[in-house]
Amino acid sequence: MSSWNMEDERAILDSIDVWVEKEVRPIAKRFDHADEYPHDLVEQMKALGLFGATISQDYGGLGLSAGTYAKIVIRVASAWMAPTGIFNSHLIMATAIERFGTDKQKNEYLPRMARGEFRGGIGLTEPNAGTDLQAIRTQAQRDGDHYVVNGAKTWITNSGQGDGLLLLVKTDPQAQPRHKGMSLFIAEKAEGFIVAKKMEKLGYKAIDTCELTFDNYRVPAENLLGGEEGKGFAQIAGGLELGRINVAARGCGIAQGALELALRYAQERSTFGKPICEHQAIQLKLAEMATQVAAAKLLIEQAAIKYDAGERCDLEAAMAKYFGSEAGVFCANEAMRIFGGYSYSTEYEIERYYRDAMLMCIGEGTNEVLRTIIAKQLIARNPA
Ligand SMILES: Cc1cc2nc3c(=O)[nH]c(=O)nc-3n(C[C@H](O)[C@H](O)[C@H](O)COP(=O)(O)OP(=O)(O)OC[C@H]3O[C@@H](n4cnc5c(N)ncnc54)[C@H](O)[C@@H]3O)c2cc1C
């Protein structure tokens, strides 16, 4: 249950603004270039309650609405997108546990997750299966009061520095349809849960995204999410709505940050005797960027209102994620042009926005697939 009002929201967002300007923005360039994990930021996130942002107050979280949470994410991502990944997939895991977990699972994990003592992520993607998740090969076989997991995962954020994952596996590889053989486990790190390699990335630096191997990893049967096999695919689909609102907010934050940088630079840089912001070609870019940022915020709000009301919001979340992430790419690209040659200098911040933006079009469902979800929902909601 949440007990926040508008004034509380304002106070929370103000404290995030202060933190972003004091702690996040000043270190972004250095940690991004060094690809170094920001341990101090993690401790600060714990103190701010970010690891429990959307976990209900019953379990020690802040119990924020998706709308307030999205505003937090936009603010952080406008300075540096990568740290939002530290609490985003952690909160998707927490959301799935809160929605689908047994009472024991909720009581055991959610308070620790809210405090940031147990930091998680989501382990879905495999070398052969990203969009087509039903093609995963990692298997969990029952053995007494445990399951034995074998297989591999790739591109798993928070898996190096975190304590465990919500792990998608096949408990019945022969099941038809395939999703009926899929289950989720709360998988704590233990023997056989092997972090094989930290991946080298174009952007989204400083945050650990890893390849994992599961070699006879034993997970207690009581960690099967909800206690029933075959529900994993539906459970993860439910959790992704919040994830998509979050990615929309990350894309929107990148767009807003790129706009802010470009707006300032366009007033400082002069050519032909006047600031470049007075050239119409630059004005058209700034106007288009600002309009996309504003539109992305409205789409995020529309999705968040439905999510917070407990209504189905796959269409709205998909629209917000699609538009917000494309706005991030568009604004980062346009800002690069406005910065001219200096955009290519690693002395400036804008190149980071350019490198970080594209990921938002890929994660939590690629924008190609999201548009098919939007279309299918349109047709389903508007039968001829
Ligand atoms: C930095 C980073 C962090 C990540 N973090 C995580 C994480 O924490 N946990 C996790 O589980 N995964 C994570 N991922 C993986 C990410 O979710 C997948 O990369 C994504 O789902 C796409 O899967 P894929 O890469 O296998 O692409 P594919 O599924 O192989 O898709 C390739 C192309 O085909 C298109 N395509 C595929 N199927 C269709 C279709 N039916 N219709 C139309 N077009 C289609 C796609 O849009 C894309 O353009 C991360 C990825 C990156 C890059």
Q: How does pLDDT run across 80-106, given as a tens digit for each residue? A: 999 999 999 999 999 999 999 999 999
Residue nearest atom 35 of ligand 1, based on CA coordinates? 368
For residue 245, give the CATH number of its domain.
1.20.140.10
Are both 357 and 259 inside the same structural domain?
yes
Query: Residue 298: inside a domain, yes or no?
Result: yes
117 C-alpha to center of ligand 1: Å?
29
Provide the 3-class DSSP secondary structure of residue 157: strand
Structure tokens at 284: 């058209």
pTM score? 0.97
Query: Residue 290: inside a domain, yes or no?
Result: yes
Are both 273 and 165 inside the same structural domain?
no
The CA angle 247-360-267, to the nearest 5 degrees, is 100
Are both 375 and 250 inside the same structural domain?
yes
* Regions of the chain with pLDDT less than 50: 1
Q: What is the DSSP string of 269-331?
A: -EETTEEGGGSHHHHHHHHHHHHHHHHHHHHHHHHHHHHHTT---HHHHHHHHHHHHHHHHHH
Are both 98 and 195 inside the same structural domain?
no
Q: Which ligand 1 atom sits closest to the C-alpha of 124?
A: 11
Write out residues with Cβ below 6 Å of ligand 1.
89, 121-125, 130-131, 155-157, 201, 204, 209, 359, 362-363, 366, 368-369, 372
Query: Residue 39: inside a domain, yes or no?
Result: yes
Are both 216 and 262 inside the same structural domain?
no
- Domain boundary residue among 192, 207, 231? 231
306 C-alpha to center of ligand 1: Å?
26
For residue 187, give the CATH number of its domain.
2.40.110.10
382 C-alpha to center of ligand 1: Å?
29
Query: Residue 253: inside a domain, yes or no?
Result: yes
For residue 38, give the CATH number of its domain.
1.10.540.10
8 C-alpha to center of ligand 1: Å?
37
Q: What is the mean pLDDT of the chain?
A: 96
- Using CA atoms, how far apart are residues 1 and 22, in angstroms rounded to an integer? 31
Query: Residue 1: inside a domain, yes or no?
Result: no
Query: Residue 49: inside a domain, yes or no?
Result: yes
Q: Which ligand 1 atom sits closest to the C-alpha of 122?
A: 9
Q: Which ligand 1 atom sits closest to the C-alpha of 159?
A: 8
Give the total number of structural domains in the chain: 3
Overall residue count recorded for the chain in this entry: 384
Residue to mutate, 81, 128, 136, 155, ligand 1, most ligand atoms under 8 Å from C-beta: 155
Residue to mutate, 86, 92, 131, ligand 1, most ligand atoms under 8 Å from C-beta: 131
138 C-alpha to center of ligand 1: Å?
17
- Domain boundary residue among 115, 143, 178? 115
E-strand stretches of the chain? 122-123, 139-143, 146-157, 164-170, 182-188, 193-198, 209-220, 270-271, 274-275
Catalytic machinery residues = 364
Q: Which ligand 1 atom sits closest to the C-alpha of 123?
A: 11
Are both 201 and 276 inside the same structural domain?
no
Question: Mind listing the pLDDT tens digit for each residue in 177-226?
Answer: 999 999 999 999 999 999 999 999 999 999 999 999 999 999 999 999 99
Question: Mind listing the pLDDT tens digit for each residue in 278-290?
Answer: 999 999 999 999 9
Range of the domain at 105: 6-115
The pLDDT of residue 2 is: 62
